[in-house]
Amino acid sequence: MQIRSSTHDGVVVLSLDGDVLGGPDGSALHDALAAVRGDAPLQVVVDLEGVRFMNSSGLGMLVGALTTARNTGGDLRLAAVGDRVRAILEVTQLDGVFQSFASADEAVASFEG
């Protein structure tokens, strides 16, 4: 998995590419969040457009990132969730925990209101 980080209107967008399997990927996501964490609430969009596959460890990694963001008073939103990942979110009932949007731009805009 590869992570690209950018900031749009004060919201951190982490674009993931490849398979999300936890383990070293989880450490990479944690490091990416630590690199952008400041004193303000952490507002994060995880763009899953480039994700081909995600296992349960990958889901755990997203839950950990959500917890990190919420512990700062912020939040984490998902963008461009593919059918395979959406099915895993539904089976685990995490689709009710994460807010999902069709695109990263829509997810970023959701923080404004």
108 closest CA partner among 86, 83, 78, 64: 78
The CATH number of the domain holding residue 56 is 3.30.750.24
pTM of the model: 0.93
Rounded CA-CA distance 12/110 in Å is 13
113 confidence band (pLDDT: 50, 70, 90): low
User: CA-CA distance, 93 to 56, in Å (whole number)?
Assistant: 12
The number of folded domains in the chain is: 1
Map 82-111 to HEC letters.
Answer: CHHHHHHHHHCCHHHCCEEECCHHHHHHHC
Dump pLDDT digits (tens) for 24-41: 887 888 888 888 887 788
Q: Under 8 Å CB-to-CB from 27, ≥6 apart: which residues?
A: none
What pLDDT is recorded for position 33? Answer: 85
Q: pLDDT of 51-107, one tens digit each?
A: 989 999 999 999 999 999 999 999 999 999 999 999 999 999 999 999 999 999 999
Domain residues for 54?
Answer: 2-110
